A and B are shown apart, each in its own frame.
Chain A
């Protein structure tokens, strides 16, 4: 484990240590007898630090993260600062993009930029909600199945299979039409999506728990009298963090795409509110005559989903301790 980096600054080095040059010109720490002996001469990095460093080395992922954060922030609060509201009707119909309307207007006179900001806000809200809820639900179900095994595992996994058997766009269509009557709002759409998208993460977490539960540290924790709950959530879950975070990221992309598809079919978020999928379905009829109505919402969806997928890819590499190994 040769380290070519300069040694840590003296304030980082523990007390009682001093630096000196050896005859070979290599700097080493002289460990004073008062401090515990250390094998390596550099400050050890925590797992988190290593993961962050590996992630930062992934240029595409870092760039994507920046773009994604900008899009999220702008879509969540941008609508308040833009001069038009999504419901405003101006007296300019079907104008191409201009300074007054950077993304043009539709045939009724809505400012497209305001509508896209609103649509993106709804889509992003749904996606973040789904990522949070479905990951939590999936992780808990997967954890229970993997930890307890036996009939709990069988029951939970058969249930997962069951949810997977029906194309989820169909379940969503039926459910969304049902709840949309009452609310038609993003929160219900998000809840419905979460209720179906947890299956993948549950399978992943279960798989990890099945192998983790056999490790010695679990035995040690049990010997110390830790409860099942404590072992699951304090000892095992942190070890599965990597795949959970990666999957949560990818879920954001999936949720955005499913939500927009649902809205496109007219079964998700409905007028008078709007979402990116709805805007595309409205813009599609005019794709050749008023292309801006069709292009902008689509490009926003692609940007969100693409950056999320790149971030997920970067995270997957960052969490993978073997990723520096070169293929033979």
Chain B
């Protein structure tokens, strides 16, 4: 098992390295970060531009720049933005905000998907099945920003009216100047999290529930399920202990592969709810063609995705004894 994990880790290293080259080339060719400075009226003195080039490391040839960036990045130094702010603390702070939404939404979506998928498989071709199927297709076809905006503009008002006071918030990840007891702060975070999380979870849940339904149907059709019933086990016991346990395994991979997509969805959802998270940082980076922001953003997320896939692979091997990893 340990050698399997180590081998998988070794395979991912060249992958991440290649990704870093790709990312670097992509960013290096995406617009002039100093265009704004150079285009100013009255013109900025050339010394200032040179100094700025030096600060963000644009003054060397491409391979040298790449090497410089890579060695610094590995040591945890992500360089500075074009305004001279250090990227690492900035990215770290934004990531905490976004991950809050991503992790919570993923958990909600997984639970929903398992519930809906298993129910519609067990009750195949009934009203329950059709309802979940239709809901799945609907959310699969809905742009996440539209659903998010729908919840923000219509859901929030209804909910707050229902409770008679403001329980869900629609702007930002937390109230400005938040203070008070721990419980108070927690309630505030939760109130801000509810709507974005539900929006993101519903979109992710759609594809996963379809997948869960298909695997559950596959398992239910297997011979060993018939055997379990034939030897006299109760239906519920067969469903939970024999069918469900096996039907959960493939979902692990699907969820891991979709991590990138959920992250992408979070980026968009954030925009709707005016969160200053990773999404805002990406848009800022793109709009100002800020190389170090973009490089750090792309590398950190791709490492995260690779890591999740690795975890999924390992989990898969642990859960399914038929996988040979010797």
Interface of A toward B, CB cutoff 8 Å: 158, 161-162, 164-171, 173-175, 177-178, 181, 253, 257, 260-261, 264-267, 277, 280-281, 284, 287-288, 294, 298, 301-302, 304-306, 308-310, 313, 327-328
Contacts and interface: CB of A to CB of B under 8 A. Distances in A.
Contacts of A181: 31
B260 A267 contact: no
A175 B30 contact: yes
A304 B306 CA distance: 33
B187 interface: no
Contact of A173 (B137, B153, B282, B302): B282
Nearest to B137: A309
A281 B282 contact: no
A302 B261 CA distance: 19
Given A267-B286, A306-B141, A178 B268 contact: no
Nearest to B21: A162
Main DSSP-derived SS at the B contact region: helix
Contacts of B264: 167-170, 261
Given A173-B283, A178-B29, A301 B302 contact: no
A253 B124 CA distance: 26
B101 interface: no
16 contacts: A158-B18, A162-B15, A162-B18, A166-B260, A167-B260, A167-B302, A170-B264, A174-B27, A174-B298, A260-B145, A265-B267, A265-B279, A266-B287, A280-B149, A288-B153, A309-B137
Contact of B268 (A265, A301, A305): A265
B268 A169 contact: yes
Interface in B172-207: none
B216 to A, nearest CB: 11
Interface of B: 15-16, 18-19, 22-23, 26-27, 29-31, 124, 137-138, 140-146, 149-150, 152-154, 157, 217, 220-221, 226, 257, 260-261, 263-264, 267-268, 271-272, 279, 282-283, 286-287, 289, 294, 297-298, 301-302, 305-306
B286 A301 contact: no
Given A171-B26, A309-B137, A294 B153 contact: yes
A166 B143 contact: no
Contacts of B289: 177
Contacts of A310: 137
Nearest to B149: A284
B26 A174 contact: yes
A174 B142 contact: no
B276 to A, nearest CB: 15
A268 B150 CA distance: 22
Given A173-B286, A302-B142, A166 B23 contact: yes
Given A170-B298, A174-B286, A267-B283, A298 B143 contact: yes
Contacts of B19: 162, 165-166
Given A167-B301, A264-B268, A309 B31 contact: no
Contacts of A165: 15-16, 19, 260, 302, 305-306
